[in-house]
């Protein structure tokens, strides 16, 4: 992670690692929600900015969860986000499917952790 381009400096300094995984996922989901809103408005510049923030948070999560959880799922999540929002969408994802993966961490849902 390029230290000069970090947008979430306070979180990168260690606060992120102290958060529960569910809260980390909710924060990433917020950026994905922003990306979906901008994508529906056709504003690719704003999509890319929201995705950059989401990717930064995913990378912080990978660092924070190393040794606690399988990193394969986090790496796949990162790859799917990049593919859908910035790539050719070879996985045939949708913004709704990606968002749903994060929404499961919302309090009150059956599958929240």
Question: Which pLDDT belongs to residue 113?
Answer: 45
Average pLDDT of 89-113? 83
Band of pLDDT at residue 8, cut at 50, 70 and 90: low
DSSP 106: S
Average pLDDT of 63-83? 90
% of the chain at pLDDT higher than 70:
83
Neighbours of 91 (CB within 10 A): 13
Burial 49-64 (b: 16+ CB within 10 A, else e): bbbbbbbbbbbbbeeb
Residue 5's alpha-carbon distances to 15, 48, 66, 69, 109, in angstroms, are 18, 14, 22, 27, 35
């Amino acid at each position: 992670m390029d230290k000069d381009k970090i947008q979430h400096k306070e979180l990168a300094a260690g606060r992120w690692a102290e958060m529960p995984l569910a809260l980390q996922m909710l924060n990433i989901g917020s950026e994905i929600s922003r990306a979906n809103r901008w994508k529906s408005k056709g504003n690719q510049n704003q999509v890319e900015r929201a995705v950059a923030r989401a990717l930064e948070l995913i990378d912080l999560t990978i660092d924070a969860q190393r040794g606690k959880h399988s990193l394969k799922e986090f790496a796949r999540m990162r790859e799917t986000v990049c593919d859908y929002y910035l790539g050719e969408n070879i996985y045939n994802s949708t913004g709704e499917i990606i968002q749903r993966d994060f929404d499961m961490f919302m309090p009150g849902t059956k599958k929240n952790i």
